[in-house]
């Protein structure tokens, strides 16, 4: 970290006047040395729950910590292994689902395929003290790519458990080219419920054709879980879609906004989503028409429909967006940029107010990184008291470390 700079570049929405966050500072990270792949969720009280992977030689360890009253809890271990898949975009997760139930997932190499890997999921019924034997939510038995998963609360058939939704390559004939390790077509979005006895049930095909390797995003909306993801059609249009679980079934996938971005390859750039009550926000990156931009769309009816999208930045953006919304409906969006001629990438953060009606910007900040090739996606979560935290993987490949910043309401 080399600097924290206030900027005034903004396009779209209500410009108004805006200043830096009143308190935006680096705080202690619960993650140790050689840590990476951060992910953020919230516990039942709205406190940030940070998960990450720490490396000990060839061994990977999934850990987590919860911030309560400005203090991180002692880090807890969920699982470990020496055959995991580690990358900056497809990250593990740990979530709290009830007073006693927690669930986690991570990725494990499948030895029966050159680039194949599986999702492993485990749960704890005593709030993280012990964890169940892991299972895989996909039952196809194929040695292909399964990943980009999100965990959600379930209410299927009166059984206690949880759900997962993920990208699945089971229906793909694997054609691997020298410049790509990803499937060339046919990746789908699927879901399943996991019972506390480890059984898999209510498997569903959510969308039969989606972008191959763009991260998905999920929020537990007021009317059920909402998943945002990058869709794909036969013409290679790759715009952002969403679907909501209602009465045990996923709604028909719908576009958040019409970008008309056609690209014959995966941009590895998924959306971000957050919600409070009936307000849902989705942010994403697009390069439709050759214009690189970050956009946001708001729903005020629980995700049933979305208002017209706004462009919040364009030009040198790399995308890799994240999004947080606090109880006052202040929205904070982050994304990456590399300005022309600069040796360093930047994390841009902009805060918006929804309380008074239209989306209006109230602050913007820039974090200048020590590299022009940032690792993974910076992630955000709101604090129960207002404001939030931002985490990302700093350092190089040989010495990664998860760093954390916090801010108060603008």
Q: What's the pLDDT score for residue 364?
A: 86
Nearest to 40 by CA among 4, 22, 66: 66
Nearest to 140 by CA among 223, 200, 195: 200
The span from the CA of 295 to the CA of 239, in Å, is: 12
Confidence bin at 156 (pLDDT 50/70/90): low
pLDDT tens digits for 186-233? 899 999 999 999 999 999 999 999 999 999 999 999 889 999 999 999
Task: Say if residues 208 and 188 touch (Cβ distance below 8 Å).
Answer: yes
- Among 17-31, 85-99, 241-255, 307-321, which stretch is predicted with the lowest mean pLDDT? 17-31
pLDDT, the chain, mean = 88
pLDDT tens digits for 337-368? 999 888 899 999 999 998 777 888 888 888 88
- Among 81-95, 142-156, 394-408, which stretch is predicted with the lowest mean pLDDT? 394-408
pLDDT tens digits for 256-301? 988 999 999 999 999 999 999 999 999 999 999 999 999 999 999 9
Residue 171 has pLDDT above 90, yes or no: no
3-state secondary structure at position 387: coil
Q: What's the pLDDT score for residue 157?
A: 62
Confidence bin at 376 (pLDDT 50/70/90): confident
Which helix H or strand E contains 42, and what residues bound it? strand 35-42
3-state secondary structure at position 400: coil
> What spatial distance separates the first Cα and last Cα of the chain, rounded to whole Å?
22
- Among 18-32, 39-53, 136-150, 229-243, which stretch is predicted with the lowest mean pLDDT? 18-32
Residue 15 has pLDDT above 70, yes or no: no
Domains and CATH numbers, the chain: 3-407 (2.130.10)
Q: What's the pLDDT score for residue 160?
A: 83
Neighbours of 74 (CB within 10 A): 7
Residue 115 has pLDDT above 80, yes or no: yes
3-state secondary structure at position 367: strand
DSSP per position, 265-319: S------EEEEETTEEEEEEEE-GGG--EEEEEEESSTTSS-PPPEEEEESSEEE
The span from the CA of 33 to the CA of 165, in Å, is: 31
- Among 16-20, 324-328, 369-373, which stretch is predicted with the lowest mean pLDDT? 16-20
């Amino acid at each position: 970290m080399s600097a924290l700079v206030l900027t005034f570049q903004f396009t779209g929405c209500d410009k108004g006047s805006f200043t830096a966050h009143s308190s935006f500072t680096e705080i202690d990270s619960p993650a140790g040395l050689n840590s990476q792949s951060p992910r953020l969720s919230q516990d039942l009280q709205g406190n940030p729950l940070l998960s990450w992977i720490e490396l000990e030689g060839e061994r990977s360890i999934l850990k987590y910590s919860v911030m309560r009253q400005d203090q991180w809890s002692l880090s807890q271990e969920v699982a470990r292994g020496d055959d995991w898949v580690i990358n900056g975009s497809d990250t593990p997760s740990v979530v709290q689902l009830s007073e006693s139930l927690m669930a986690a997932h991570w990725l494990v190499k499948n030895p029966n395929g050159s680039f194949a890997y599986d999702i492993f999921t485990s749960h704890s019924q005593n709030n993280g003290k012990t964890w169940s034997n892991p299972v895989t939510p996909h039952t196809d038995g194929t040695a292909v790519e399964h990943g980009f998963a999100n965990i959600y609360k379930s209410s299927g058939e009166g059984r206690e458990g949880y759900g997962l939704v993920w990208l699945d390559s089971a229906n793909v004939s694997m054609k691997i080219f020298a410049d790509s390790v990803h499937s060339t077509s046919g990746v789908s979005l699927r879901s399943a419920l996991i019972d506390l006895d480890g059984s898999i049930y209510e498997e569903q095909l959510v969308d039969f054709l989606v972008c191959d390797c763009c991260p998905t995003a999920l929020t537990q909306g007021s009317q059920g879980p909402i998943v945002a993801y990058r869709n794909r059609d036969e013409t290679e249009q790759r715009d952002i879609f969403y679907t909501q679980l209602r009465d045990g079934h996923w709604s028909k996938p719908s576009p958040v906004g019409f970008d008309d971005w056609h690209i014959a390859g995966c941009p590895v750039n998924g959306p971000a989503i957050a919600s409070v009550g009936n307000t849902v926000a989705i942010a994403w990156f697009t390069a439709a028409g050759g214009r690189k931009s970050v956009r946001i769309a708001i729903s005020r009816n629980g995700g049933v429909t979305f208002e017209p999208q706004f462009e919040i930045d364009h030009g040198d953006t790399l995308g890799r967006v994240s999004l947080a919304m606090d109880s006052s409906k202040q929205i904070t969006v982050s994304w990456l940029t590399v300005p022309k001629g600069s040796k360093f990438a930047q994390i841009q953060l902009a805060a918006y107010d929804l309380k008074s009606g239209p989306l209006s910007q109230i602050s913007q900040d820039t974090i200048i990184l020590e590299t022009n090739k940032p690792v993974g996606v910076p992630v955000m979560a709101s604090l129960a008291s207002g404001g939030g935290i931002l985490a990302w993987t700093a350092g190089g490949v040989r010495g990664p470390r998860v760093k954390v910043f916090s801010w108060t309401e603008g």
